[in-house]
Structure 1
């Protein structure tokens, strides 16, 4: 029912009331709880704790007092929001891992970086540190405004004088209503140098200030990974700073590798980080870690990750950075109260507001000292008047019946104020001696000099700024220290490669276009003449046509029968067991219907201009055409591929190899002949050229089966026939001829050996991977093959089952493999 308005009932709109109440509440939280003042960098609770301790006399030179005593003082006088809130704020100011420059010196258990809570306040003790005293000094000289406390029985400071820029040194964090602040700590020496630079040049830019302030400096040290976020935070007041723990890789006496972490990112709980890492290891989301131990002690932090013998330390470390809090981020949001209003501030604005505050404090302090000095000299002038007329003053006093009469008589007789007359009456007789008179005269002179100096300060802003500058330089010398946080300027975001070991892989491509990769370690070495092991399961009428070794991070340049080129990273190829078939290559590249892979080469890095500019791609076709093109022509990957060579009618691309421009090239024919010529005989051509004659076929049905490129002359020529026979011969046995010749015999072709199917340049330390059409693979050492003449039929390399034949042969560079593992 409706209620009629009366004198005691006032109708209001509930929406208006809720809005007004919420605004009042939010402003109370913003101003009186969550956000720091830009001048002293403190929230009310922290300011009250420091002021309460100052009033208790807990300076650095005094003994500790129980924390409960301090909390009671602050709670009863200034901060009636509960003892827990006060003690938590007080404990945080004593934690060296929370504040870059702790403001309280604690005695007892004030918590740990593992998240342990401080001991109860009745067990701990505390006092101020010297830096805190620098924040409070001069507070009794009317340098700051005071306000009534919660019950108007006492006064508390609105802000502290703050000789040091605490907001920049220790940062701040807090969540208000509709806004939050998260300010990073910085190095004292860097910040004070930047403030001095600003005082010397008020027009200094933020970029110029960054020459002094390198980056935030966190109390737990570690590494700032990348500089873009730092630059953005300094310029705008907002930015994301990526932090990493400091980790090194060490090798124990028994040869095992360890990752040792000695610093962790700011605000990371060490115990929680270790626990979560162990959980990820147990779930096999991070592999390669055998054990985790926390060996931290009073000497410092030390977290040990024992690695498994087959683990690659850098990959494990990258996984730790990627998946654990060993890498975290600090989102800078520089929101502080400026004249009671929240504002986002960049680096220069923070410095400007601090200098303005110090300037105001200096003016108020100087004014206070001047007033005090004027009162002092006023009394001294009265003393001097009394001393100059001492007999008359004494007589007046003796003639007076009481002090009031004496005071009035002195004021009537001499030009004295009431204050001076009262001081003369209270003056001790010992000051009437000649020596004491000289002291009064000298004191009058010194006070007059002080007054002149104070007046000069108040009249000259440049002098005031010079005094602030000198004060900051002295504070830097007293409290300055080295940076704890290292800055790694050039840092890229994580890529897939960071998480994948750059291990040796066997890449297989079948005749029908199925591709897969398998770790090389899955294929054990066997002796020459063995039966091999199952290397792949293929469809009927399919067989492995291409087989080679590459590392996971290398690029594959895939050349097709139609003369097109495609790019693939090795790690993007599906990794399978050695007996599985693999995936259709059409899943990786946009190969045209009817086209098929003919050759694949691996290159180290297409982004390394030095590497690209010093290599060539040499191609040969079934009909003996050869072509050489600079690698940089193919250094820009495209999803749909590009033309690598123009194929003549009736011909097809056969083999492609990477050279440095000075190789010796050997082309071999199915008929068992081969020719050797210098790479310089083949001039570089454009990407769409068709090439020139490399070797002349023995007859119409003959064709080229392969190309071997020799960087030096001390390598051997290895040839393999389709029935599993092979040999190696010195390259010197092949005379150098002009390109385009018919060549010389390289293998005695018989019904027993079958046709020639493969040719390679090998050295004694190499290994061979031989794959049959039935999918059986064998891995043998080149050193087990006899070194015999080029015109012989060779020896048996693998025993073939009936109707089986050799499908492909790949060379394994063992020395390169060892180098990769060492890296």
Structure 2
């Protein structure tokens, strides 16, 4: 330890207390002096010093440009004792029309680009103030703002600027302090001024909800689209919120290829980085379908071209670009600014209030300055008027005086005037003694009295000051208003999985052992009746595909188990597989009990749509012919572990579930070839926890299927047996009876045909998908199948090898035929 010098003493301190105190001092210095803007002029100290330095150098909008290095040196040497890079970088950003909505510096030379290219060195670039910056410094010489000493106490600098423009609202600000950050978006000046007018007109009592009718949303310098309005409303009302900002795009066809054209990108996005990262995503296979990316931007504007591969869905690719690249960003609004030197969280109303209060303060100080100036001038004019009526006496007194001081004294004694008045009289030119000039002095005296009267009114009446504020803002609006650049899509939402997956037609296949997959319908081509089909999935000898459904990727799939539970899936959530793949076990997708299995499936529309679910019912039937009807609304809120759909009686199991509208005719078929038809109204709708009523009498056979048909439909009933025979019959061949009967014959069951396995309602334009237990599938037109009577055995639909049989049949609707 070094020795203590004479006169010095050692003061012990607590290191913890010293660290706390020092850190608080440091953090407050960063918050107040570097990172956060003042709510009144929207500037941080470095921005304010740059503008004041240019003002002192006389670099106005109509002046000649001066080297940036000159301004940087001026600011560093007089006001901002920090690095020159910080000052120059600030000035560069103030000149970039893609960084500020209303640039404050007029730059000449290379000031960077949207690709984040660095600006030229400060010795090469030149600057001057933009016209709008002059509005921020106007009246500063009229003692409108407080001044403080600079870092070495040799000069004074303003603590705030007397801005006429609401700079913090129209240009925004961003900065990271200690323990807090600010990120304020820019807004359109015309919308902002209209909101201020409305605020003033409502006696400063306008609600935030009404203010946002004028300031609709942020307006970014690079344009783009604000996607969705909830985040905007929250941000403007609370000061915090997340805004979805998208690029502005359109589609073109260039050289026979579809192209996505980007003309505007989100705020603060680096264009070249965005393109390079997109290329990486393409190489990684996360974005498919893009053939080439070209940057065709030039001085006329931005243009990025995404050339797409043939036979690709441009909307799906665009959604993937929004999801994975900076074509869509989240702008996190956090409005924190200094209010009376302290950081505060503010909403849009608070910003307007503080700006209006600042303008009142500036006008009061300006008025006091002008009043003081005019009163002094009036005082001088009174002296003139006293003496001008006695010019000869005044001239004689001056001629007799030895010097200026003696003349002043004589004038004071003779005419009873002040020292200032006497000196001003002596400074009068001879031309001022003419009759015309004397009249001008009287006229000026009268005009100044009127001005003083008005200025006193300004000081005493709040309403007069608000009128001045509005007049000045109206002038600002006329000078600088421009159209909104950023569009607003009020109904936009975040990209979800549905937007990234094409809503194509798919085939869902489920095996007897419980494996499920989806395959594009385009993989299955039409064949004629009696064909052998295409190879399906490779399955174990003990397994085969039992169910087949035709769906679209965006549909909802309700899965019903034999024990009466219901589960919920989106079709695109089902693993994709080729025709020959096995699929994935259902129990690995849903929380299925080990002793339960899925027996029935329903494809629905959007079950989140309240109107949709109220219009439909779920009709279920068990193997023993018990039928039940429940509103689809009861199945619109699925749970992770499923919900109860029906109470299954002992020895029975759920067989089938279909979607109905509640006013059709129900057909239930038995494996021995019998079928019953009755009105759906015979089945009363019940809740999920009921067991149902008898639909068909079952003895030594079992139920194999159910359909529901509108009584006005004119299609046919298709039946298929397990050995590949089938036929169509007219609906009128089946008489309407009461539920609970034995039914009538629908097909002649023989050893050759095998038992009945499927019934379908079809029309001429539909196709039929048939799957064999061997895994082979065939797709044939319904029109190839003859219409025959009820009691016949039908015709051969598909050729079967020995020991093979039909596993399931599905209808391909006419709306999704290739």
Tell me by how many angstroms 1:234 deviates: 3.4
SS at match of 2:243: strand
Tell me by how many angstroms 1:141 deviates: 0.9
Tell me by how many angstroms 1:795 deviates: 3.1
Gaps in structure 2 of 5+ consecutive residues: none
Taking structure 1 as the reference length, the TM-score comes to 0.92
Taking structure 2 as the reference length, the TM-score comes to 0.92
1:535 — aligned with what?
A: 536
8 Å contact kept, 1:748–1:793? yes
Render the CA deviation track for 1:660-699: whole Å, top value 9, x for unaligned: 23333333333334444443444444444544454456xx
For 1:624 and 1:138, how far apart are their aligned partners in 2?
A: 92
Tell me by how many angstroms 1:514 deviates: 2.5
Q: Could you say if the C-alpha distance between residues 335 and 680 of structure 1 is closer, same or farther in structure 2, counting changes exceeding 3 Å?
A: closer
Q: Answer yes or no: is 1:505 the counterpart of 2:506.
A: yes
8 Å contact kept, 1:769–1:777? yes
1:327 — aligned with what?
A: 328
Tell me by how many angstroms 1:593 deviates: 4.6
1:248-647 paired onto structure 2 within 5 Å: 248=250, 250=251, 252=253, 256-647=257-648
8 Å contact kept, 2:644–2:688? yes
SS at match of 1:362: helix
Question: Bigger shift: 70-79 or 539-548?
Answer: 70-79
1:244 — aligned with what?
A: 246
8 Å contact kept, 1:245–1:263? yes
Render the CA deviation track for 1:714-744: whole Å, top value 9, x for unaligned: 2222222212222334434445455455555
1:4-83 paired onto structure 2 within 5 Å: 4=4, 6-7=6-7, 13=13, 15=15, 22-83=23-84
Tell me by how many angstroms 1:9 deviates: 7.0
2:94 — aligned with what?
A: 93
1:768 — aligned with what?
A: 768
For 1:760 and 1:740, how far apart are their aligned partners in 2?
A: 21
Q: Answer yes or no: is 1:710 the counterpart of 2:712.
A: no
Render the CA deviation track for 1:203-246: whole Å, top value 9, x for unaligned: 43333433333232222222333444434433443333332223
Question: Bigger shift: 543-552 or 731-740?
Answer: 731-740
1:643-658 paired onto structure 2 within 5 Å: 643-648=644-649, 650-658=651-659
8 Å contact kept, 1:504–1:817? no
Q: Answer yes or no: is 1:797 the counterpart of 2:812.
A: no
For 1:546 and 1:779, how far apart are their aligned partners in 2?
A: 15
For 1:331 and 1:125, how far apart are their aligned partners in 2?
A: 34
For 2:672 and 2:516, how far apart are their aligned partners in 1?
A: 30
Q: Could you say if the C-alpha distance between residues 745 and 176 of structure 1 is closer, same or farther in structure 2, counting changes exceeding 3 Å?
A: closer
Tell me by how many angstroms 1:4 deviates: 4.6
Q: Could you say if the C-alpha distance between residues 51 and 763 of structure 1 is closer, same or farther in structure 2, counting changes exceeding 3 Å?
A: same
2:670 — aligned with what?
A: 669
Tell me by how many angstroms 1:392 deviates: 1.1
Question: Bigger shift: 604-613 or 731-740?
Answer: 731-740
SS at match of 1:252: strand
Question: Bigger shift: 670-679 or 431-440?
Answer: 670-679
Render the CA deviation track for 1:316-350: whole Å, top value 9, x for unaligned: 33322222222222223333233333333333333
Render the CA deviation track for 1:730-779: whole Å, top value 9, x for unaligned: 43444545545555543343333322222211122222221111112222
For 1:187 and 1:169, how far apart are their aligned partners in 2?
A: 6
SS at match of 2:395: helix
Tell me by how many angstroms 1:443 deviates: 1.0
Report the number of matched residues: 815
8 Å contact kept, 1:141–1:365? yes
Render the CA deviation track for 1:569-616: whole Å, top value 9, x for unaligned: 323333233323233322234444543332211111222122112222
For 2:751 and 2:254, how far apart are their aligned partners in 1?
A: 58
Q: Answer yes or no: is 1:219 the counterpart of 2:218.
A: no
1:813 — aligned with what?
A: 813
8 Å contact kept, 2:619–2:658? yes
1:821 — aligned with what?
A: none
8 Å contact kept, 2:505–2:816? no
8 Å contact kept, 2:504–2:553? yes
1:724 — aligned with what?
A: 724
Q: Could you say if the C-alpha distance between residues 454 and 39 of structure 1 is closer, same or farther in structure 2, counting changes exceeding 3 Å?
A: same
Question: Bigger shift: 797-806 or 645-654?
Answer: 645-654
SS at match of 1:365: helix
8 Å contact kept, 1:5–1:11? no
For 1:235 and 1:476, how far apart are their aligned partners in 2?
A: 24
Tell me by how many angstroms 1:298 deviates: 3.5
1:753 — aligned with what?
A: 753
8 Å contact kept, 1:713–1:732? no
For 2:147 and 2:125, how far apart are their aligned partners in 1?
A: 30
SS at match of 2:165: coil
For 2:143 and 2:132, how far apart are their aligned partners in 1?
A: 21
SS at match of 1:292: strand
Q: Could you say if the C-alpha distance between residues 178 and 669 of structure 1 is closer, same or farther in structure 2, counting changes exceeding 3 Å?
A: closer
For 2:708 and 2:457, how far apart are their aligned partners in 1?
A: 88
Q: Could you say if the C-alpha distance between residues 485 and 251 of structure 1 is closer, same or farther in structure 2, counting changes exceeding 3 Å?
A: closer
For 2:70 and 2:539, how far apart are their aligned partners in 1?
A: 82
Tell me by how many angstroms 1:790 deviates: 4.3
Render the CA deviation track for 1:520-560: whole Å, top value 9, x for unaligned: 23333333322222212223322222111122232222223
For 2:728 and 2:343, how far apart are their aligned partners in 1?
A: 81
Tell me by how many angstroms 1:23 deviates: 4.8
Render the CA deviation track for 1:67-97: whole Å, top value 9, x for unaligned: 3333333334333434322221111111111
Question: Bigger shift: 673-682 or 506-515?
Answer: 673-682
Q: Could you say if the C-alpha distance between residues 667 and 192 of structure 1 is closer, same or farther in structure 2, counting changes exceeding 3 Å?
A: same
For 2:200 and 2:274, how far apart are their aligned partners in 1?
A: 44
1:109 — aligned with what?
A: 110
8 Å contact kept, 2:560–2:601? yes
For 1:292 and 1:764, how far apart are their aligned partners in 2?
A: 47
Tell me by how many angstroms 1:803 deviates: 0.7
Tell me by how many angstroms 1:806 deviates: 0.7
For 2:663 and 2:767, how far apart are their aligned partners in 1?
A: 25
Question: Bigger shift: 22-31 or 328-337?
Answer: 22-31
8 Å contact kept, 2:322–2:495? no
For 1:45 and 1:779, how far apart are their aligned partners in 2?
A: 74
For 1:274 and 1:686, how far apart are their aligned partners in 2?
A: 55
SS at match of 2:95: coil
8 Å contact kept, 2:766–2:817? no
Q: Answer yes or no: is 1:209 the counterpart of 2:208.
A: no
Gaps in structure 1 of 5+ consecutive residues: 819-823
